[in-house]
C-alpha cells in the first residue's frame, strides 16, 4: 500500500517548544504510545525504541504505519474498527486533522473567539474521500458534521461505506458516492438542489505514475537509513489518489471551472495546495472565475508547511 513518508529530521524526537499546530489539533509533537497500546494491544509489536530516546515506529514499514493509524483513529476518534484494502493510501492523520480545523475556522468567520458551527446541520462535501475515509471520520468526531464523500474508484467508495457501516458513530452522518468521470469534480455526484457548507479536497499531487513513484523514492532517501529499496517493493496506491491529468494544478483548475458554473453548491470551496509554485495559476483561474472572496490559509504542522486555498461566490 502507499503510506505516509516523513523526513529524517521529522523522525527525530521533536522539540515541543518549536512545534506548531492548530490549537484544536489533538496531535502534538509526540504520540502517546502507552494510550495507543491500551486501546489497541496489537499495536505494541510495532513500537520500537528510538536511538535518541523515547518510542517510535518504523515509518518505512507500511504495516507499522497502518497499525499506527488504526490505533490513533480508535483511541482519539472513537472508532470501533478501521482498516484499508491492499494498495490504498494510508494518510498522515495529524495533517488531515489540521486541514479540518482550519476549515472550521473558515466556517466560523475567521476563527479566534468565534464559535465554530457544529452538528449535522453542517454538511461537508469531501472530493476524493478515499478508502480511508479520514476527513469524515475526523469531522464527525470533532464537530459532529455530516459528510458526503466522492471518489472515482469503486473499491474506495465501497470500502469507505463499509467503514461507515462498521462504526456506530458514523452511521447516518457519512455517505459516499462514486464519481464516474476522472475529469469531473462536482458534476455527476452532487444531486439537484443539494448544497453544502464547504467542500474539501486533497487533490492528486502528481501528473503521472512515474512522477509519483519518483517523489516517494526521493522522500525515502531523505530518511538516510537504507529504506528506499524497500519502498520500491511496497509502492502502491490507486492512481486516482496519487496522480491525475495535469497534476495538482490541473485538477484544481478543473474544480474552479466547475465551481464557477455551479456557484451555489457550496458556501465555501476549498482545496489543499501542496506546491506553492502552483498558486499563481490557481489565483489566475479564480480571478477569471470572478470569485467574490479568495483566501490562502497557511498551515504549519510541526515542520511541514502547506496551504489551503478557499473561495466563495457569495457577495
pLDDT score recorded for residue 315:
78
Q: How do 304-312 and 266-273 pair as beta strands?
A: antiparallel
Contact 4, 219 (CB under 8 A): no
Low-confidence ranges of the chain (pLDDT < 50): 1-13, 206-209, 212-214, 220, 223-243
SS3 287: helix
Task: Enumerate domains of the chain plus CATH numbers.
Answer: 93-312 (3.40.50.150)
Q: Which of 124, 115, 137 is nearest to 266 (CA)?
A: 124
CA 104, 110, 111: angle at the middle one, nearest 5? Answer: 60
Q: What is the Cα–Cα distance from 137 to 166, expressed in whole angstroms?
A: 12
Q: State the pTM of this model.
A: 0.85
Q: Which residue matches cell numbers 482550519?
A: 102
Contact 231, 221 (CB under 8 A): no
Q: What is the Cα–Cα distance from 310 to 104, expressed in whole angstroms?
A: 12
Q: What is the Cα–Cα distance from 268 to 89, expressed in whole angstroms?
A: 26
Q: What is the Cα–Cα distance from 254 to 221, expressed in whole angstroms?
A: 33
pLDDT score recorded for residue 18:
59
Q: Which of 308, 309, 266, 264 is nearest to 287 (CA)?
A: 309
Please give the DSSP secondary-structure letter assigned to residue 236: -
Q: Which three cell numbers stand for residue 197?
A: 457548507
Contact 152, 182 (CB under 8 A): yes
pLDDT score recorded for residue 180:
95
pLDDT score recorded for residue 282:
97
Q: How far apart are the first and last CA of the chain?
A: 44
pLDDT score recorded for residue 7:
35
Amino acid at each position: 500500500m502507499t503510506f505516509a513518508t516523513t523526513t529524517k529530521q521529522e523522525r527525530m524526537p521533536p522539540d515541543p517548544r518549536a512545534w506548531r499546530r492548530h490549537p484544536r489539533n489533538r496531535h502534538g509533537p509526540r504520540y502517546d504510545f502507552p494510550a495507543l497500546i491500551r486501546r489497541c494491544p496489537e499495536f505494541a509489536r510495532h513500537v520500537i525504541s528510538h536511538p535518541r530516546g523515547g518510542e517510535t515506529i518504523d515509518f518505512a514499514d507500511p504495516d507499522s504505519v497502518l497499525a499506527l493509524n488504526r490505533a490513533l483513529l480508535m483511541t482519539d476518534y472513537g472508532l470501533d474498527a478501521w482498516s484499508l484494502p491492499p494498495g490504498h493510501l494510508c494518510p498522515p492523520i495529524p495533517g488531515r486533522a489540521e486541514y479540518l480545523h482550519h476549515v472550521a475556522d473558515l466556517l466560523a468567520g475567521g476563527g479566534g473567539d468565534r464559535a465554530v458551527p457544529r452538528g449535522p446541520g453542517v454538511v461537508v462535501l469531501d472530493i476524493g474521500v478515499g478508502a480511508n475515509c479520514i476527513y469524515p471520520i475526523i469531522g464527525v468526531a470533532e464537530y459532529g458534521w455530516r459528510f458526503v464523500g466522492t471518489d472515482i474508484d469503486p473499491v474506495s467508495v465501497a470500502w469507505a461505506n463499509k467503514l461507515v457501516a462498521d462504526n456506530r458513530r458514523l452511521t447516518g452522518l457519512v455517505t459516499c458516492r462514486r464519481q464516474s468521470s476522472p475529469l469531473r469534480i462536482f458534476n455527476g455526484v452532487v444531486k439537484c438542489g443539494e448544497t453544502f457548507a464547504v467542500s474539501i479536497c486533497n487533490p492528486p499531487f502528481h501528473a503521472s505514475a512515474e512522477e509519483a513513484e519518483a517523489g516517494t523514492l526521493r522522500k525515502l532517501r531523505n530518511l538516510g537509513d537504507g529504506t528506499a529499496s524497500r519502498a520500491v517493493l511496497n509502492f502502491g496506491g490507486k492512481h486516482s489518489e496519487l496522480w491525475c491529468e495535469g497534476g495538482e494544478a490541473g485538477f484544481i483548475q478543473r474544480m474552479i471551472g466547475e465551481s464557477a458554473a455551479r456557484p451555489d453548491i457550496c458556501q465555501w470551496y476549498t482545496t489543499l495546495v501542496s506546491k506553492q509554485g502552483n498558486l499563481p495559476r490557481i489565483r489566475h483561474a479564480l480571478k477569471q472565475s470572478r470569485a467574490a472572496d479568495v483566501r490562502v490559509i497557511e498551515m504549519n504542522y510541526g515542520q511541514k508547511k502547506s496551504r489551503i486555498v478557499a473561495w466563495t461566490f457569495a457577495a
